[in-house]
């Protein structure tokens, strides 16, 4: 059961990266990169502190 759960989680992560990266890249190319980086970095800081 544990091996199946790990495999399913890994598959979901891999598929999200494969299909999500091109979409995210296209979206980022159309928007201001500085604002996106500030948003992402602030969310990472909040996540690290909680």
pLDDT at residue 10, as a whole number: 96
pLDDT at residue 1, as a whole number: 87
Find where tokens 């990169």 sit: 33
Task: Quote the CA–CA distance of 5 and 44 in Å, as a whole number.
Answer: 26
CA distances from 1 to 6, 11, 14, 15, 17 (A): 9, 15, 20, 21, 25
Task: Quote the CA–CA distance of 47 and 32 in Å, as a whole number.
Answer: 23
Task: Quote the CA–CA distance of 8 and 36 in Å, as a whole number.
Answer: 30
In total, how many domains does the chain have?
1
| Per-residue pLDDT reduced to its tens digit, 1-50 | 899 999 999 999 999 999 999 999 999 999 999 999 999 999 999 999 98
Find where tokens 């969310």 sit: 43
**Residue-number span of the structural domain to which 10 is assigned:** 2-49
């Amino acid at each position: 059961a544990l091996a199946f759960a790990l495999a399913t989680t890994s598959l979901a992560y891999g598929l999200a990266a494969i299909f999500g990266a091109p979409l995210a890249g296209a979206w980022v190319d159309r928007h201001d990169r500085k604002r996106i980086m500030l948003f992402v970095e602030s969310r990472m800081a909040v996540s690290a502190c909680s």
